[in-house]
Amino acid sequence: MTQQERRLPLEGVKVADFSWFGAGPICGRLLADYGATVVRVESETHIDALRTVAPFAKGKTGYNVSGYFNNYNAGKLGILLNCNTDEGQRIARCLVEWADIFLTNITPRVIERWGLTYENLVKINPQIIAAYQPMQGFDGPHRDFLGFGAVLTPITGYNHLSGFPGRPPMGLGTNYPDYVINPGHTFVAIMAALHYRNRTGKGQHIECAQLESSCAPLAPAIFDYTANGRVQGPQGNNLPYAAPHNAFKCRPLSDGGRPMDETWIAIACFSGEEWQALVEAMGPSAQGWAQDAKFASLAGRKENEAELEVNIRAWTADKDPYDLMEDLQARGVPAGVVQSAREMLDVDDARPRRPAVRAVEDAWVRPVSGPAARRAHGVRMQGDPGPRRRGHRGADGGRGAGVKDNESARPSVRATI
């Protein structure tokens, strides 16, 4: 394979990443994964607060030890820039002139104060692709509302749908819009804008309001209300069109005499064929109850779902979850072990065959935060050499001494702009 064939698809694309926390930086991380040169801009006076969020490497301190931050900013260059000063704004304009893509999820009022609106950027760089991720858009009464994924999940309806019937809304346990929806939608829009620019030579102004983006996956619930007047509510792990569809406890496992995490297996039957395959897998233990006519159809299994789950739970209780998963999958029954982070990294023998999580091997990351694993991009292309092995250059140049020496992050950028 030649060097040309091993090039990543976005090599040569330059990105000025003026975002922070999750939705913007994760999009920037995707761009970096596919070869773009991404310069992450932070401020010495107001660092990205994600640097202060756990998990931290045990026994490590400083601004560069957050696994949370390091994971979503791997593969980027970094610069400290105070855009509240004239000099900071001058350098920001130099970055815009240098870049192909400008990316930000900062509140509109701050973008306007810094003079980084599209109307200003296009005067500096007529071919710029400027992608903005305001939480609730650039117009309307809530344009300047502050928020994160934990705010978007309740106001967009996720919390109303999550949890179990008869209990208070519990949310998703994570900032789901930040991780999956907003950065993914913005990334796709940027790819479309790059394609458009390659054909026409013209840039683009992209607005991906996080609220609207987050509502998109809720289309079934929205359609159910608009078409049927039905307000969907929490269903726990169940689905209206599958039964069984839940997680069932298995027997405890040990690892060299050390108890492992609680073990569960998720089992889902979406068709009569899958249900019959599950019955066959359960064998003699299911010959009595599973043959009852009330379990013969999806409607019957849904109507008697509580009894169905009690019986399946009794069957899985003494099973090894990994052996059971292999058997059910071989029979055509959707099933998967509910793994902890430790099991995913240390136990799952499928990971070496397709590494969705890869170790960071970087000269400055290891001394500062220790060896770490980070998420690799999930799309593999022919000739793809894999993600870069460098981590994000820290706020203090990777020495873990606090935000004091901003010169250490600048030379690689200054040499380019």
Residues 6+ apart with CB under 8 A from 117: 111
The half-sphere exposure of 77 on its side-chain side, counting CA atoms within 13 A, is: 20
Three-state helix/strand/coil letters over the chain: CCCCCCCCCCCCCEEEECCCCCHHHHHHHHHHHCCCEEEEEECCCCCCHHHHCCCECCCCCCCCCEHHHHHHCCCCEEEECCCCCHHHHHHHHHHHHHCCEEEECCCHHHHHHCCCCHHHHHHHCCCCEEEECCCCCCCCCCCCCCCCHHHHHHHCCHHHHCCCCCCCCCCCCCCHHHHHHHHHHHHHHHHHHHHHHHHHCCCEEEECCHHHHHHHHHHHHHHHHHHHCCCCCCCCCCECCECCEEEEECCCCEECCEECCCCEEEEECCCHHHHHHHHHHHHHHHCCHHHCHHHCCHHHHHHCHHHHHHHHHHHHCCCCHHHHHHHHHHCCCCEEECCCHHHHHHCCCCHHHCCCEEEECCCCHHHHHCCEEEECCCCCCCCCCCCCCCCCCCCCCCCCCCCCCHHHHCHHHHCCC
Strands 14-17 and 101-104: parallel
**Token pair for residue 389?**
């092995």
Contact 400, 394 (CB under 8 A): yes
Longest Cα pair distance anywhere in the chain, in angstroms?
Answer: 79
Residue 178 is among the residues annotated as catalytic for this protein:
yes
Q: List the catalytic residue out of 48, 178, 362, 396.
A: 178
* 284/262 Cα distance (integer angstroms): 27
Q: Packing angle between helix 23-33 and helix 182-200, nearest 10 degrees?
A: 50
Return the active site residues: 178
